Structure 1
């Protein structure tokens, strides 16, 4: 960690206020590595030892967390280990020097954006029901989805366990005889939810890919590849989770939209 002004370190650690720290330094009561300091002096909180009135102050080193985005391919389990020896997402990030955990999950037959980190608080923030960060999925179904089926799913359907899903947003991207391609935005994460929603209205999911989570998009990342999240993306996810929690997840469904110009889109399924 880079050097910081001593009064800032003391304030950040909660030892005293910055103003009080400045007063103590000016009074000659603060030493770093055994040497008296003056206002304006700096220290490295990762290595230097600070004393106030002869008492060593405990400095808590801030842990550096790892945040990555993985393009999960089909055929991989979203789990840290599997007692049957099947492939897991951990096989794809084995060279990352951190104890990563998936943020939520994608089932074995699904693909797309999967966030992973060793920051437990970050995981809890994004997966807690009050967070409700929207996740965008591109879903190919057959047969062709009717207007009524789309309205039913977007309004909320009763799943096979008797639980009704929350309203969601559905846009029709491709509308052809025998199949439809839908973009579905969910604010909840029940087990295999989209597949079960489609099954409840008589549709079969042929392909399912998560394209975005909150403000973070999969982009051109290829299956099996990963990259570190940018600081701006991490902050944006935190802000989205806090904003959603503040709204209490009260969201209305958007009407289904049949494709006009959307048919010209070239995104692959």
Structure 2
């Protein structure tokens, strides 16, 4: 039952098109607005429209759907600072796909790393893997450098969690998210702790909406460097910055076990 629920999950039409084609979400929005998209034989211009894998979606005469018979692929990319995790950017900034190349244009990033962050980014050509992994509580490991001393008060918040009515500091300037609840860190290791800057390795199981930047900003600590080292047991190892690799046989095996446990399965 859970598998059916995942496969039939309703998603925004632009997201569905983007995930199953070479179009970006902005390109999909334009196609919808121009009336070039039909759902179950009817033209759709409402950008809020949601569809599932059961719906017949066409862009012009091209059918947009997930091929359930292909073998899913996952890659690891060591994202450098200064790249946007998007297929295109209206400001003309470099995207991860400029580095990855056209052969990965249809791949979907599992989660995000912001413009100033670096490190491990997983991408896949499977919507099922994306939906299952991105909403999971798999461990994420980060190495962080902050511009000050990590006090006992910061440590207590890492150990016990934190609830903030205003967590806008550290967030994106256009973010509408204000209040946030930060779960206790699964683990942390303060590797250097001095007044000018400190380094800490942390393990959490979410990491969205600039969670770590907002957390430390509450204590007037700016995150100077943030690098993701691991995600769900998959690590960068010696992968150079700006390079990508396929999962190893062992990593694929573990992913299949995880997906089966989540009743989603791999194609």
TM-score of the superposition, structure 1-length normalised? 0.63
Deviation at 1:241?
Answer: 6.7
Partners in 1 of 2:236 and 2:211 — Cα distance?
A: 20
* Aligned residue among 231, 254, 266 for 1:236: 254
Deviation at 1:79?
Answer: 1.3
Residues 171 and 91 (structure 1 numbering): CA distance in 2 closer, same or farther, change over 3 Å? same
Partners in 1 of 2:189 and 2:143 — Cα distance?
A: 10
Deviation at 1:238?
Answer: 4.7
Contact 1:125 1:238 (8 Å CA) reproduced: no
TM-score of the superposition, structure 2-length normalised? 0.64
Contact 2:146 2:198 (8 Å CA) reproduced: yes
Partners in 2 of 1:191 and 1:61 — Cα distance?
A: 31
Deviations 1:162-203 (A, max 9, x none): 221111122111223422111111111321110000001221
Deviations 1:83-113 (A, max 9, x none): 2221111112114356111010000000000
Contact 2:83 2:96 (8 Å CA) reproduced: yes
Deviation at 1:221?
Answer: 0.8
Contact 1:68 1:116 (8 Å CA) reproduced: yes
SS in 2 for 1:164: strand
Structure 1's consecutive aligned runs of 4 or more residues displaced over 6 angstroms after TM superposition are none
Residues 172 and 238 (structure 1 numbering): CA distance in 2 closer, same or farther, change over 3 Å? farther
CA RMSD between the two structures:
2.2
Matches within 5 A, 1:36-47: none
Q: Does residue 162 of structure 1 match 2:179? A: yes
Partners in 1 of 2:73 and 2:182 — Cα distance?
A: 33
Contact 1:139 1:181 (8 Å CA) reproduced: yes
Q: Which residue of 1 aligns with 2:147?
A: 142
Q: Which residue of 1 aligns with 2:199?
A: 181
Count of residues paired in the alignment: 184
Partners in 2 of 1:147 and 1:228 — Cα distance?
A: 41
Q: What runs of 5+ residues in structure 1 fail to find an aligned partner?
A: 1-59, 247-269
Contact 1:80 1:101 (8 Å CA) reproduced: no
Q: Which residue of 1 aligns with 2:109?
A: 102
Contact 2:112 2:208 (8 Å CA) reproduced: no
Partners in 2 of 1:233 and 1:108 — Cα distance?
A: 27
Partners in 2 of 1:116 and 1:214 — Cα distance?
A: 13
Q: Does residue 213 of structure 1 match 2:231? A: yes
Partners in 2 of 1:140 and 1:90 — Cα distance?
A: 27
Matches within 5 A, 1:1-269: 62-96=69-103, 99-128=106-135, 131-159=136-164, 160=167, 161-168=178-185, 169-240=187-258
